[in-house]
Structure 1
Protein backbone atom coordinates (compact mmCIF):
# COMPACT_ATOMS: atom_id res chain seq x y z
CA UNK A 1 0.00 0.00 0.00
CA UNK A 2 1.37 3.43 -0.93
CA UNK A 3 2.35 5.55 2.04
CA UNK A 4 0.31 8.66 2.72
CA UNK A 5 2.93 11.17 3.91
CA UNK A 6 2.04 14.57 5.28
CA UNK A 7 4.86 17.14 5.48
CA UNK A 8 5.10 20.65 6.86
CA UNK A 9 7.97 23.14 6.68
CA UNK A 10 8.51 25.53 9.57
CA UNK A 11 11.14 27.49 11.49
CA UNK A 12 12.25 26.32 14.92
CA UNK A 13 10.66 28.76 17.41
CA UNK A 14 13.27 30.75 19.34
CA UNK A 15 11.26 30.30 22.56
CA UNK A 16 11.42 26.48 22.39
CA UNK A 17 15.21 26.01 22.46
CA UNK A 18 17.78 25.38 25.19
CA UNK A 19 20.95 27.27 26.10
CA UNK A 20 22.69 25.69 23.08
CA UNK A 21 19.92 27.01 20.78
CA UNK A 22 18.74 23.41 20.21
CA UNK A 23 15.07 22.48 19.98
CA UNK A 24 13.95 20.83 23.24
CA UNK A 25 13.04 17.15 22.88
CA UNK A 26 9.52 17.73 24.22
CA UNK A 27 8.61 20.72 22.04
CA UNK A 28 10.27 19.17 18.98
CA UNK A 29 8.16 16.05 19.49
CA UNK A 30 5.04 18.17 19.94
CA UNK A 31 5.63 19.76 16.53
CA UNK A 32 6.02 16.34 14.91
CA UNK A 33 2.92 15.01 16.66
CA UNK A 34 0.97 18.00 15.35
CA UNK A 35 1.74 16.91 11.78
CA UNK A 36 0.46 13.41 12.51
CA UNK A 37 -2.62 14.85 14.20
CA UNK A 38 -3.42 16.92 11.12
CA UNK A 39 -3.07 13.85 8.92
CA UNK A 40 -5.37 11.80 11.17
CA UNK A 41 -7.97 14.57 11.00
CA UNK A 42 -7.73 14.60 7.20
CA UNK A 43 -8.20 10.81 7.12
CA UNK A 44 -11.19 10.80 9.50
CA UNK A 45 -9.20 9.04 12.21
CA UNK A 46 -8.48 11.99 14.51
CA UNK A 47 -9.78 13.15 17.87
CA UNK A 48 -13.28 14.11 16.72
CA UNK A 49 -13.96 10.67 15.27
CA UNK A 50 -12.18 8.83 18.09
CA UNK A 51 -13.87 10.74 20.91
CA UNK A 52 -17.30 10.16 19.35
CA UNK A 53 -16.61 6.47 19.92
CA UNK A 54 -15.22 7.12 23.45
CA UNK A 55 -11.74 6.18 22.22
CA UNK A 56 -8.34 7.87 22.28
CA UNK A 57 -4.96 7.25 20.64
CA UNK A 58 -2.35 6.40 23.31
CA UNK A 59 1.40 6.01 22.80
CA UNK A 60 3.11 2.85 24.06
CA UNK A 61 6.67 3.19 22.71
CA UNK A 62 9.03 5.55 20.88
CA UNK A 63 12.47 4.97 19.37
CA UNK A 64 14.39 8.15 18.43
CA UNK A 65 17.45 8.33 16.17
CA UNK A 66 18.86 11.85 16.34
CA UNK A 67 21.64 12.92 13.98
CA UNK A 68 21.55 16.45 15.38
CA UNK A 69 19.08 18.83 16.97
CA UNK A 70 17.89 21.71 14.78
CA UNK A 71 18.81 25.20 15.95
CA UNK A 72 16.71 28.24 16.78
CA UNK A 73 15.02 29.75 13.70
CA UNK A 74 16.38 26.98 11.44
CA UNK A 75 13.97 25.90 8.69
CA UNK A 76 13.07 22.22 8.91
CA UNK A 77 10.56 19.89 7.28
CA UNK A 78 8.48 17.63 9.53
CA UNK A 79 6.84 14.53 8.04
CA UNK A 80 4.69 11.71 9.38
CA UNK A 81 3.05 8.59 7.99
CA UNK A 82 1.26 5.48 9.21
CA UNK A 83 3.43 2.42 8.66
CA UNK A 84 1.32 -0.61 9.60
CA UNK A 85 -1.12 -2.03 12.14
CA UNK A 86 -2.29 -5.30 13.70
CA UNK A 87 -5.30 -6.10 15.86
CA UNK A 88 -3.99 -4.07 18.81
CA UNK A 89 -1.11 -1.82 17.71
CA UNK A 90 -0.73 0.94 15.12
CA UNK A 91 2.79 1.90 14.02
CA UNK A 92 3.69 5.40 12.86
CA UNK A 93 6.93 7.07 11.74
CA UNK A 94 8.08 10.68 12.03
CA UNK A 95 10.95 12.38 10.23
CA UNK A 96 12.66 15.75 10.36
CA UNK A 97 14.96 17.01 7.61
CA UNK A 98 16.97 20.19 7.19
CA UNK A 99 16.82 22.70 4.32
CA UNK A 100 19.18 20.47 2.29
CA UNK A 101 16.99 17.41 2.76
CA UNK A 102 19.36 15.74 5.23
CA UNK A 103 17.61 13.67 7.89
CA UNK A 104 18.03 15.13 11.37
CA UNK A 105 15.61 12.99 13.39
CA UNK A 106 13.70 9.78 12.75
CA UNK A 107 11.13 8.38 15.20
CA UNK A 108 9.39 5.01 15.20
CA UNK A 109 6.32 4.73 17.39
CA UNK A 110 3.67 2.29 18.56
CA UNK A 111 0.11 3.36 19.47
CA UNK A 112 -3.00 1.69 20.83
CA UNK A 113 -6.64 2.67 21.13
CA UNK A 114 -7.82 3.28 24.69
CA UNK A 115 -11.41 3.11 25.88
CA UNK A 116 -12.43 6.20 27.87
CA UNK A 117 -14.94 4.03 29.73
CA UNK A 118 -12.53 1.37 30.99
CA UNK A 119 -9.22 3.30 30.63
CA UNK A 120 -7.84 0.12 29.04
CA UNK A 121 -6.46 -0.82 25.64
CA UNK A 122 -8.98 -2.21 23.15
CA UNK A 123 -8.73 -3.86 19.74
CA UNK A 124 -8.32 -1.39 16.89
CA UNK A 125 -11.62 -0.12 15.55
CA UNK A 126 -11.84 -1.41 11.94
CA UNK A 127 -13.90 1.57 10.78
CA UNK A 128 -11.20 3.98 11.97
CA UNK A 129 -8.05 2.06 11.17
CA UNK A 130 -9.08 1.49 7.53
CA UNK A 131 -8.99 5.26 7.06
CA UNK A 132 -5.38 5.54 8.28
CA UNK A 133 -4.04 3.94 5.06
CA UNK A 134 -1.44 1.53 6.44
CA UNK A 135 -0.48 -2.09 5.82
CA UNK A 136 -2.25 -4.70 7.97
CA UNK A 137 0.23 -7.12 9.57
CA UNK A 138 -0.09 -10.13 11.88
CA UNK A 139 3.17 -9.66 13.76
CA UNK A 140 4.01 -7.33 16.64
CA UNK A 141 6.90 -4.99 15.84
CA UNK A 142 9.84 -5.22 18.22
CA UNK A 143 11.44 -2.12 19.69
CA UNK A 144 14.85 -2.10 21.45
CA UNK A 145 14.57 -3.66 24.91
CA UNK A 146 15.01 -1.31 27.86
CA UNK A 147 17.02 -3.07 30.61
CA UNK A 148 15.47 -3.45 34.05
CA UNK A 149 17.34 -1.43 36.65
CA UNK A 150 17.27 -1.12 40.44
CA UNK A 151 16.51 2.54 41.14
CA UNK A 152 17.06 2.25 44.88
CA UNK A 153 19.23 5.21 45.87
CA UNK A 154 19.05 6.75 42.39
CA UNK A 155 18.92 10.51 41.88
CA UNK A 156 15.24 11.53 42.08
CA UNK A 157 12.82 14.42 41.75
CA UNK A 158 9.06 14.52 42.42
CA UNK A 159 6.70 16.34 40.03
CA UNK A 160 3.19 17.47 40.88
CA UNK A 161 0.87 16.96 37.93
CA UNK A 162 -0.66 20.30 36.96
CA UNK A 163 -3.80 21.04 35.00
CA UNK A 164 -1.52 22.19 32.15
CA UNK A 165 0.07 18.73 31.93
CA UNK A 166 -3.23 16.99 31.10
CA UNK A 167 -4.31 16.35 27.51
CA UNK A 168 -7.59 15.51 25.77
CA UNK A 169 -7.30 11.88 26.89
CA UNK A 170 -7.53 13.09 30.52
CA UNK A 171 -3.99 12.05 31.49
CA UNK A 172 -0.47 13.50 31.34
CA UNK A 173 0.54 14.32 27.77
CA UNK A 174 3.34 11.97 26.75
CA UNK A 175 5.82 14.76 25.92
CA UNK A 176 5.97 15.95 29.55
CA UNK A 177 7.75 12.77 30.59
CA UNK A 178 10.81 13.90 28.63
CA UNK A 179 10.99 17.16 30.59
CA UNK A 180 10.70 15.28 33.89
CA UNK A 181 13.42 12.80 32.92
CA UNK A 182 15.96 15.28 31.55
CA UNK A 183 15.34 17.76 34.38
CA UNK A 184 16.44 15.09 36.88
CA UNK A 185 19.97 15.25 35.44
CA UNK A 186 22.53 17.80 36.62
CA UNK A 187 22.99 20.91 34.49
CA UNK A 188 26.71 20.15 34.16
CA UNK A 189 25.83 16.80 32.57
CA UNK A 190 23.39 18.36 30.10
CA UNK A 191 25.97 20.95 29.10
CA UNK A 192 28.56 18.21 28.49
CA UNK A 193 26.50 15.70 26.51
CA UNK A 194 23.87 15.68 23.75
CA UNK A 195 21.31 12.96 22.98
CA UNK A 196 21.62 10.63 19.99
CA UNK A 197 19.07 7.86 20.74
CA UNK A 198 16.03 7.49 22.98
CA UNK A 199 13.94 4.43 23.76
CA UNK A 200 10.89 4.95 25.95
CA UNK A 201 8.10 2.60 26.99
CA UNK A 202 4.88 3.89 28.54
CA UNK A 203 3.25 1.42 30.92
CA UNK A 204 0.62 3.27 32.99
CA UNK A 205 -0.96 6.67 32.66
CA UNK A 206 -0.37 9.51 35.13
CA UNK A 207 -3.43 11.50 36.13
CA UNK A 208 -4.18 14.95 37.47
CA UNK A 209 -3.36 15.42 41.14
CA UNK A 210 -0.78 12.64 41.32
CA UNK A 211 2.87 13.22 42.26
CA UNK A 212 5.11 10.92 40.20
CA UNK A 213 8.81 10.59 40.99
CA UNK A 214 11.44 10.72 38.24
CA UNK A 215 14.58 8.64 38.90
CA UNK A 216 17.79 8.44 36.87
CA UNK A 217 20.84 6.17 36.77
CA UNK A 218 23.92 7.38 34.85
CA UNK A 219 26.23 4.70 33.41
CA UNK A 220 29.39 5.71 31.51
CA UNK A 221 30.06 3.62 28.41
CA UNK A 222 33.38 1.92 27.70
CA UNK A 223 34.32 4.97 25.70
CA UNK A 224 34.72 8.14 27.73
CA UNK A 225 33.02 9.95 24.85
CA UNK A 226 29.52 8.64 25.56
CA UNK A 227 27.17 7.73 28.41
CA UNK A 228 23.80 6.04 28.87
CA UNK A 229 21.11 7.17 31.28
CA UNK A 230 18.24 5.02 32.50
CA UNK A 231 15.04 6.67 33.66
CA UNK A 232 11.98 5.56 35.54
CA UNK A 233 8.84 7.52 36.38
CA UNK A 234 6.86 5.97 39.20
CA UNK A 235 3.71 6.93 41.09
CA UNK A 236 3.59 5.28 44.53
CA UNK A 237 4.39 1.63 43.73
CA UNK A 238 3.31 1.81 40.07
CA UNK A 239 5.82 2.21 37.25
CA UNK A 240 4.48 4.64 34.66
CA UNK A 241 7.40 4.91 32.25
CA UNK A 242 10.89 3.52 31.66
CA UNK A 243 13.42 5.02 29.28
CA UNK A 244 16.98 4.58 28.02
CA UNK A 245 18.83 7.57 26.55
CA UNK A 246 22.25 7.47 24.89
CA UNK A 247 24.37 10.60 24.88
CA UNK A 248 27.67 11.65 23.29
CA UNK A 249 30.07 14.51 24.02
CA UNK A 250 29.19 17.84 22.52
Structure 2
Protein backbone atom coordinates (compact mmCIF):
# COMPACT_ATOMS: atom_id res chain seq x y z
CA UNK A 1 0.00 0.00 0.00
CA UNK A 2 -0.43 2.35 -1.75
CA UNK A 3 0.19 1.76 -5.42
CA UNK A 4 -2.52 4.25 -6.40
CA UNK A 5 -1.58 7.84 -7.29
CA UNK A 6 -1.96 9.96 -4.15
CA UNK A 7 -3.37 12.37 -3.47
CA UNK A 8 -6.32 11.74 -5.69
CA UNK A 9 -9.21 14.13 -6.11
CA UNK A 10 -12.58 13.28 -4.64
CA UNK A 11 -15.32 14.88 -6.72
CA UNK A 12 -18.50 14.60 -4.65
CA UNK A 13 -20.25 17.96 -5.01
CA UNK A 14 -18.32 18.97 -8.13
CA UNK A 15 -21.50 18.57 -10.14
CA UNK A 16 -21.61 21.56 -12.49
CA UNK A 17 -19.23 22.53 -15.31
CA UNK A 18 -18.06 25.48 -13.22
CA UNK A 19 -17.28 23.40 -10.15
CA UNK A 20 -15.73 20.61 -12.23
CA UNK A 21 -13.02 22.96 -13.49
CA UNK A 22 -11.27 21.83 -10.30
CA UNK A 23 -10.71 18.48 -12.02
CA UNK A 24 -8.94 20.15 -14.94
CA UNK A 25 -6.89 22.30 -12.57
CA UNK A 26 -5.92 19.28 -10.49
CA UNK A 27 -4.68 17.38 -13.51
CA UNK A 28 -2.68 20.39 -14.71
CA UNK A 29 -1.08 20.61 -11.24
CA UNK A 30 0.01 16.97 -11.39
CA UNK A 31 -2.85 14.97 -9.89
CA UNK A 32 -3.32 11.67 -11.69
CA UNK A 33 -6.17 10.02 -9.75
CA UNK A 34 -9.77 11.20 -10.16
CA UNK A 35 -12.56 9.58 -8.15
CA UNK A 36 -16.27 9.90 -8.93
CA UNK A 37 -19.45 7.83 -8.55
CA UNK A 38 -22.80 7.28 -10.18
CA UNK A 39 -24.61 8.69 -7.15
CA UNK A 40 -22.66 11.96 -7.38
CA UNK A 41 -24.52 12.71 -10.63
CA UNK A 42 -21.41 14.34 -12.06
CA UNK A 43 -19.75 11.76 -14.31
CA UNK A 44 -20.47 13.78 -17.45
CA UNK A 45 -18.98 17.04 -16.18
CA UNK A 46 -16.02 15.18 -14.65
CA UNK A 47 -15.40 13.43 -17.96
CA UNK A 48 -15.57 16.74 -19.81
CA UNK A 49 -13.13 18.30 -17.35
CA UNK A 50 -10.66 15.44 -17.83
CA UNK A 51 -10.89 15.96 -21.60
CA UNK A 52 -10.14 19.68 -21.13
CA UNK A 53 -6.83 18.95 -19.40
CA UNK A 54 -3.61 18.63 -21.36
CA UNK A 55 -3.06 15.17 -19.92
CA UNK A 56 -3.47 11.94 -21.88
CA UNK A 57 -6.38 9.76 -20.78
CA UNK A 58 -4.04 6.80 -20.24
CA UNK A 59 -2.09 8.88 -17.72
CA UNK A 60 -5.19 9.46 -15.58
CA UNK A 61 -6.28 6.83 -13.04
CA UNK A 62 -10.06 7.18 -13.24
CA UNK A 63 -12.39 5.52 -10.73
CA UNK A 64 -16.16 5.42 -10.42
CA UNK A 65 -18.62 3.48 -8.28
CA UNK A 66 -21.82 1.54 -8.94
CA UNK A 67 -24.56 2.72 -6.62
CA UNK A 68 -26.60 0.41 -4.39
CA UNK A 69 -29.71 0.42 -6.60
CA UNK A 70 -27.76 -0.90 -9.62
CA UNK A 71 -25.93 -3.89 -8.21
CA UNK A 72 -28.04 -6.65 -9.79
CA UNK A 73 -26.05 -8.43 -12.51
CA UNK A 74 -27.73 -6.77 -15.53
CA UNK A 75 -27.87 -3.40 -13.80
CA UNK A 76 -24.13 -3.44 -13.10
CA UNK A 77 -23.45 -3.97 -16.80
CA UNK A 78 -25.96 -1.36 -17.97
CA UNK A 79 -25.11 1.31 -15.40
CA UNK A 80 -21.39 0.89 -16.10
CA UNK A 81 -22.04 1.25 -19.83
CA UNK A 82 -23.87 4.49 -19.02
CA UNK A 83 -21.03 5.66 -16.76
CA UNK A 84 -18.46 5.09 -19.51
CA UNK A 85 -20.61 7.04 -21.97
CA UNK A 86 -20.95 9.95 -19.54
CA UNK A 87 -17.26 9.92 -18.70
CA UNK A 88 -16.36 9.88 -22.39
CA UNK A 89 -14.04 6.90 -22.08
CA UNK A 90 -13.87 3.27 -23.20
CA UNK A 91 -12.76 2.04 -19.78
CA UNK A 92 -12.29 2.99 -16.16
CA UNK A 93 -9.19 2.08 -14.23
CA UNK A 94 -11.15 1.12 -11.12
CA UNK A 95 -14.82 0.27 -10.59
CA UNK A 96 -16.15 0.02 -7.04
CA UNK A 97 -19.18 -1.52 -5.42
CA UNK A 98 -20.21 1.69 -3.65
CA UNK A 99 -21.98 0.09 -0.66
CA UNK A 100 -22.92 -3.55 0.03
CA UNK A 101 -26.60 -2.72 0.59
CA UNK A 102 -29.94 -2.72 -1.26
CA UNK A 103 -29.48 -4.75 -4.47
CA UNK A 104 -26.01 -6.06 -3.57
CA UNK A 105 -26.00 -9.82 -4.21
CA UNK A 106 -22.37 -10.91 -3.82
CA UNK A 107 -22.29 -13.81 -6.33
CA UNK A 108 -24.27 -11.97 -9.03
CA UNK A 109 -22.87 -8.49 -8.45
CA UNK A 110 -19.27 -9.64 -8.47
CA UNK A 111 -19.84 -11.92 -11.47
CA UNK A 112 -20.81 -8.80 -13.41
CA UNK A 113 -17.68 -7.00 -12.20
CA UNK A 114 -15.54 -9.92 -13.38
CA UNK A 115 -17.25 -9.81 -16.77
CA UNK A 116 -16.46 -6.10 -17.08
CA UNK A 117 -12.80 -6.81 -16.37
CA UNK A 118 -12.73 -9.63 -18.93
CA UNK A 119 -14.26 -7.35 -21.57
CA UNK A 120 -11.68 -4.61 -20.98
CA UNK A 121 -14.18 -2.00 -19.86
CA UNK A 122 -12.80 -2.09 -16.31
CA UNK A 123 -9.14 -2.48 -15.39
CA UNK A 124 -9.47 -3.17 -11.66
CA UNK A 125 -12.21 -4.10 -9.19
CA UNK A 126 -12.73 -2.31 -5.90
CA UNK A 127 -15.25 -2.20 -3.08
CA UNK A 128 -16.26 0.58 -0.72
CA UNK A 129 -17.62 0.74 2.83
CA UNK A 130 -17.13 -3.01 3.46
CA UNK A 131 -16.46 -4.82 6.72
CA UNK A 132 -13.63 -7.35 7.04
CA UNK A 133 -16.18 -10.16 6.70
CA UNK A 134 -17.63 -8.62 3.53
CA UNK A 135 -14.12 -8.14 2.15
CA UNK A 136 -13.32 -11.82 2.70
CA UNK A 137 -16.53 -12.85 0.96
CA UNK A 138 -15.82 -10.59 -2.03
CA UNK A 139 -12.25 -11.85 -2.37
CA UNK A 140 -13.49 -15.43 -2.35
CA UNK A 141 -16.07 -14.79 -5.07
CA UNK A 142 -14.07 -12.59 -7.43
CA UNK A 143 -11.92 -14.04 -10.19
CA UNK A 144 -10.19 -10.68 -10.57
CA UNK A 145 -7.96 -9.66 -7.66
CA UNK A 146 -9.44 -7.12 -5.29
CA UNK A 147 -7.48 -3.96 -6.01
CA UNK A 148 -8.81 -1.45 -3.50
CA UNK A 149 -11.15 -0.81 -0.60
CA UNK A 150 -12.42 2.76 -0.27
CA UNK A 151 -13.59 3.76 3.19
CA UNK A 152 -14.07 6.77 5.42
CA UNK A 153 -10.78 7.18 7.28
CA UNK A 154 -9.46 10.13 9.27
CA UNK A 155 -8.13 10.84 12.79
CA UNK A 156 -11.66 10.75 14.21
CA UNK A 157 -12.66 7.53 12.43
CA UNK A 158 -9.89 4.96 12.53
CA UNK A 159 -10.22 1.34 11.42
CA UNK A 160 -6.80 -0.30 11.92
CA UNK A 161 -8.32 -3.74 11.28
CA UNK A 162 -9.07 -2.63 7.70
CA UNK A 163 -5.47 -1.56 7.18
CA UNK A 164 -4.19 -4.84 8.56
CA UNK A 165 -6.50 -6.83 6.30
CA UNK A 166 -5.35 -4.85 3.27
CA UNK A 167 -1.70 -5.41 4.09
CA UNK A 168 -2.29 -9.11 4.62
CA UNK A 169 -4.10 -9.53 1.30
CA UNK A 170 -2.18 -7.00 -0.81
CA UNK A 171 -4.77 -4.46 -1.87
CA UNK A 172 -4.96 -0.69 -1.43
CA UNK A 173 -6.96 1.31 1.07
CA UNK A 174 -8.38 4.57 -0.25
CA UNK A 175 -9.49 7.12 2.35
CA UNK A 176 -12.40 9.41 1.63
CA UNK A 177 -13.12 12.41 3.88
CA UNK A 178 -9.50 12.34 5.13
CA UNK A 179 -9.98 15.80 6.68
CA UNK A 180 -13.08 14.71 8.64
CA UNK A 181 -15.12 17.39 6.91
CA UNK A 182 -12.80 20.06 8.35
CA UNK A 183 -13.14 18.76 11.91
CA UNK A 184 -9.42 17.97 12.14
CA UNK A 185 -8.91 21.66 12.82
CA UNK A 186 -10.61 21.10 16.19
CA UNK A 187 -8.70 17.97 17.27
CA UNK A 188 -6.08 18.89 19.88
CA UNK A 189 -3.73 16.03 19.01
CA UNK A 190 -3.72 16.95 15.31
CA UNK A 191 -3.32 20.66 16.07
CA UNK A 192 -0.34 19.92 18.31
CA UNK A 193 1.43 17.95 15.57
CA UNK A 194 0.64 20.72 13.08
CA UNK A 195 2.16 23.32 15.40
CA UNK A 196 5.28 21.18 15.78
CA UNK A 197 5.75 21.05 12.01
CA UNK A 198 4.60 24.63 11.33
CA UNK A 199 1.84 23.42 9.07
CA UNK A 200 -1.94 22.98 9.09
CA UNK A 201 -4.06 20.31 10.79
CA UNK A 202 -5.38 19.38 7.35
CA UNK A 203 -1.84 18.72 6.11
CA UNK A 204 -1.11 16.60 9.17
CA UNK A 205 -4.24 14.50 8.66
CA UNK A 206 -3.26 13.73 5.07
CA UNK A 207 0.37 13.05 6.01
CA UNK A 208 -0.74 10.71 8.82
CA UNK A 209 -2.74 8.61 6.36
CA UNK A 210 0.04 8.60 3.76
CA UNK A 211 2.46 7.44 6.48
CA UNK A 212 0.20 4.42 6.93
CA UNK A 213 0.35 3.62 3.21
CA UNK A 214 -3.17 4.86 2.54
CA UNK A 215 -4.22 6.63 -0.66
CA UNK A 216 -6.11 9.85 0.12
CA UNK A 217 -8.76 11.47 -2.08
CA UNK A 218 -9.71 14.77 -0.43
CA UNK A 219 -12.21 16.93 -2.25
CA UNK A 220 -10.93 20.40 -3.15
CA UNK A 221 -12.34 23.06 -5.42
CA UNK A 222 -9.74 25.84 -5.28
CA UNK A 223 -6.23 25.82 -6.68
CA UNK A 224 -4.92 26.81 -3.25
CA UNK A 225 -6.44 23.77 -1.58
CA UNK A 226 -5.43 21.48 -4.43
CA UNK A 227 -1.82 22.60 -4.04
CA UNK A 228 -1.97 22.29 -0.25
CA UNK A 229 -3.19 18.70 -0.46
CA UNK A 230 -0.37 17.79 -2.83
CA UNK A 231 2.20 19.37 -0.51
CA UNK A 232 0.69 17.58 2.49
CA UNK A 233 1.29 14.22 0.85
CA UNK A 234 5.02 14.98 0.92
CA UNK A 235 5.06 15.97 4.61
CA UNK A 236 6.98 13.50 6.79
CA UNK A 237 5.72 12.72 10.28
CA UNK A 238 7.84 10.88 12.80
CA UNK A 239 6.70 7.83 14.75
CA UNK A 240 5.78 9.94 17.77
CA UNK A 241 3.49 12.10 15.63
CA UNK A 242 1.77 9.06 14.14
CA UNK A 243 1.32 7.42 17.54
CA UNK A 244 -0.13 10.61 18.99
CA UNK A 245 -2.85 10.68 16.36
CA UNK A 246 -3.34 6.92 16.54
CA UNK A 247 -4.18 7.38 20.21
CA UNK A 248 -7.20 9.63 19.65
CA UNK A 249 -10.12 7.96 21.39
CA UNK A 250 -13.04 10.05 20.10
CA UNK A 251 -15.00 8.74 17.14
CA UNK A 252 -17.02 10.67 14.56
CA UNK A 253 -18.37 8.81 11.53
CA UNK A 254 -19.48 11.28 8.86
CA UNK A 255 -21.16 8.84 6.49
CA UNK A 256 -22.83 5.97 8.36
CA UNK A 257 -24.87 3.57 6.25
More helix by share: 2
More strand by share: 1
Structure 2-normalised TM-score? 0.26
